């Protein structure tokens, strides 16, 4: 991944953590009787959606540009990224995406 791609993915991940804490705070305030407007969270929700989609696109692009020893590894990683609700995405990012792409096939899948 290039520096820009890494920045997009890391920003998306950091935003997810911050957004989750903000959402919990809004739920806590609503549970304690404070009126919470949907507009308090809606702009941040759309920002997070945009960042997540951009991060996902960058990650899938990295997946298909990265050489793997087994040709089925790309399909397996794609399915894990798309079907595991973000867990596969996190695993792929820390296992492969943050490391430089090699020019030849890698030994691990």
Report, as an integer, the average pLDDT of 42-54: 88
Question: Is 19 domain-assigned?
Answer: yes
- Tokens at residue 73, please? 């590894």
Domain span at residue 19 reads 3-97
**Is pLDDT above 70 for 104?**
no
Question: Is 29 domain-assigned?
Answer: yes
Question: Is 9 domain-assigned?
Answer: yes
Question: Is 102 domain-assigned?
Answer: no
DSSP secondary structure of 16-82 = HHHHHHHHHHHHHHHHTT----GGGTHHHHHHHHHHHHHHHHHHHHHHHHS--SSTHHHHHHHHHHH
- Tokens at residue 101, please? 């792409």
Number of structural domains in the chain: 1
- Summarised one tens digit per residue, pLDDT across range 62-103 is 988 888 888 888 999 999 999 987 888 888 888 888 877 775
- Tokens at residue 30, please? 């609503």
**Is pLDDT above 70 for 9?**
yes
Question: Is 84 domain-assigned?
Answer: yes
Question: Is 45 domain-assigned?
Answer: yes
What is the model's pTM?
Answer: 0.76
Question: Is 106 domain-assigned?
Answer: no
């Amino acid at each position: 991944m290039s520096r820009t791609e890494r920045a997009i993915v890391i920003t998306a991940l950091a935003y997810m953590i911050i957004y989750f804490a903000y959402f919990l705070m809004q739920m806590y305030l609503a549970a304690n009787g404070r009126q919470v407007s949907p507009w308090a969270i809606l702009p941040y929700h759309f920002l997070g959606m945009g960042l997540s989609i951009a991060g996902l696109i960058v990650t899938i692009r990295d997946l298909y540009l990265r050489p793997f020893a087994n040709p089925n590894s790309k399909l397996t990683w794609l399915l894990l990224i798309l079907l595991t609700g973000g867990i596969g995405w996190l695993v792929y990012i820390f296992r492969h995406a943050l490391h430089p792409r090699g020019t030849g096939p890698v030994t691990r899948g």
